[in-house]
Amino acid sequence: MASYPLFLVLLPIFTGANAAVFTLQNRCKETVWPGILSGSGKPLLMSGGLELKPDQKTDVPAPTGWSGRFWPRTGCNFDQSGKQGNCTTGDCGGGLLECGGTGGAPPVSLAEFTLDSPLDFYDVSLVDGFNVPVSIIPSGGSGNCSAVNCTSNLNLECPEKLQVRGYDKSNGETTVACKSACLAFNEPQYCCAGEFNNPEVCKPSNYSEIFKKACPTSYSYPYDDATSTFTCKGANYLIIFC
């Protein structure tokens, strides 16, 4: 057997030849703080969180087979060390800029991915609610590779019983997030739980249909698979906030 220098043997692992690159872009008028949570056993990306000012974007490389989610945090305040603070929406607990493996508190909009299984599966989920418009735009892949565009601001039409009120720098006190019916009422028919844990039984509600009308290609309730799960192969992904 021929022998090769160690760096040549390891080269395919570190070049990212088979990895996806996620580009996070903030098109909101205010700063957002994306959180990142990896699936079980998958490496943590960017220590789990970062800051994106308006119009700023950053690339986040992911290894082959990665799975996880991205979400926007809003209204965050951190000290200079990034070790103390909190966010109005999407807070990952512990008051940290880098979430370090902790998920975001709902209601929050999610961009979810499972890579190389054997295709990439991706979706925008509003199952736990909405805080900021989120879209996913694949590039350079093969297959269907549809864009998932959730650009409507659901906070503007959120039913009163689902509203999360807070302070916005531009608008003062306002609706900063919109709960799902499951999160707001914790009832089986909204959560597809118990006797409703079946796609034949758990159907869209008046509340989930508001979410679906605003973002037709996003998950609006747990069994909304048919119009909300997308596949691609070998793509990079642009994730747009607002």
pLDDT for res 170: 67
Take residue 58 and report the two structure tokens written for it.
Answer: 């950053």
Higher-confidence residue: 15 or 200? 200
> Binning pLDDT at 50, 70 and 90, where does residue 11 land?
very low
Say whether pLDDT at 18 is over 60. Answer: no
Take residue 123 and report the two structure tokens written for it.
Answer: 């979706």
Calculate mean pLDDT across residues 197-208. Answer: 94
CATH 2.60.110.10 fits 19-151+215-241, yes or no: yes
pTM above 0.85, yes or no: yes
Whether residue 19 contacts residue 63, with contact meaning beta carbons closer than 8 Å, is answered with yes
pLDDT for res 115: 97
Sheet holding 110-114, edge to edge: 33-38, 67-73, 110-114, 120-125, 230-232
Per-residue pLDDT of 220-238, as tens digits, reads: 999 998 899 999 999 999 9
Neighbours of 134 (CB within 10 A): 27
How many angstroms separate the CA atoms of 203 and 187, rounded? 13
Say whether pLDDT at 4 is over 60. Answer: no
